[in-house]
Amino acid sequence: MSAPRGSVSVNGVCVWAGEVTWRETAGLREVLFDLLEAPGQGGLSLDVRAVTRIDRTGVALLIGANHRAAALGRPLSLVDAHGPVTRKLSGLGMLGDFEVAQIPPT
């Protein structure tokens, strides 16, 4: 099991890597919501290409972040490569609720 990471790059991208399960969501939520609520920011991209596994609590976090971003008038987009996050959202019939850019891993 690898621990997830939430990091910010200069260009407004938050990167998640590893597992996104009930163990990790509290820390990831704090980072993500702080970024969404930061003053003077435009949209936020969440790069999930390095996520190896996501459970229901991770999906709930994405849903909550998407709603929060909409309420703040800030676009939230996911960057994936048809990985676990895209597959999970698609399997739940929720992929259409998100802006997703499918980009191959670097």
**Residue 33 carries which side chain, given as an amino acid letter?**
F
- Spatial contact of 32 and 66, defined as CB atoms under 8 Å apart: no
Pairwise CA distance, residues 94 & 55, whole Å:
14
pLDDT of amino acid 6? 54
| pLDDT tens, position by position, 57-70 | 999 999 999 999 99
CATH code: domain of residue 36:
3.30.750.24
**Residue 102 carries which side chain, given as an amino acid letter?**
Q
Instruction: Give me the number of domains the chain comprises.
Output: 1
What is the domain extent for residue 44?
A: 5-102
pLDDT of amino acid 89? 97
pLDDT of amino acid 22? 93
Low-confidence residues of the chain, pLDDT below 70? 1-11, 106
